[in-house]
Amino acid sequence: MGTVFNWPSRLWAAGSTLSQPLFEGGKITANLQQAKAANEETVAKYRGTVLAAFADVENNLAAEHLLASQHEKALAASQSAGRQLEIANNRYRSGLITFLDVATAENAALGTERASVRLRGQQLLAIVALIKSLGGGWSVPDLLNTVQSSRREP
């Protein structure tokens, strides 16, 4: 028991704790640099993800606005073609034009209506993509319940 408190015993006890960091050979510094690099990489990936999310939202919002504008113009063109068809029908009934003119007006009216419906569908898809990019969503059972309840309501 008396040898435990001697200077040689203390030196051996302290020597083992002092020698550990000396023989690491820069391993602790390298591990610290590796941890810092891993942290910087994670931060860069996060920034990239956030920027991509903002870009996705911006793109879908711009697409929805553009398609809404085009749809309004297509609706106006469809209404104009409908009026032309009505005029062509009246003129045909009066015997002023042939049925070919009516068929041409009907073809134009259907084409503009088809374009309007196509643009509206694209606009709705852009709205769904915008909702999805904003983090919104739905599950299939919720969607089916909503559709079924809307069909029941008169």
- Per-residue pLDDT reduced to its tens digit, 89-137: 999 999 999 999 999 999 999 999 999 999 999 999 999 888 888 887 6
Domain total in the chain: 1
Q: Examine the pLDDT at 35 and tell me if it is beyond 50.
A: yes
pTM over 0.95: no
Cα–Cα distance for residue pair 133/125, rounded to 1 Å: 12
Q: Report which secondary-structure segment, H or E, holds 1.
A: none
Residue 116 lies in a domain: yes
pLDDT digits (tens, 9 = 90+) for 36-81: 999 999 999 999 999 999 999 999 999 999 999 999 999 999 999 9
Q: Is residue 1 pLDDT above 70, yes or no?
A: no
Instruction: Give a yes or no: residue 14 inside a domain.
Output: no
12 part of a folded domain: no
Q: 104 in a domain, yes or no?
A: yes
Answer yes or no: is 6 within a domain: no
Taking the C-alpha atoms of residue 102 and residue 88, their distance in angstroms, rounded to an integer, is 5
In a domain, 22, yes or no: no
CA distance 55 to 49: 10
Residue 116 structural domain = 27-152
Does 40 map to a domain?
yes
- What is the rounded distance in angstroms from the CA atom of residue 84 to the CA atom of residue 108? 9
Answer yes or no: is 82 within a domain.
yes
User: For residue 78, what are the CA distances in angstroms to 88, 106, 120, 125?
Assistant: 15, 11, 13, 21
Domain CATH for 47: 1.20.1600.10
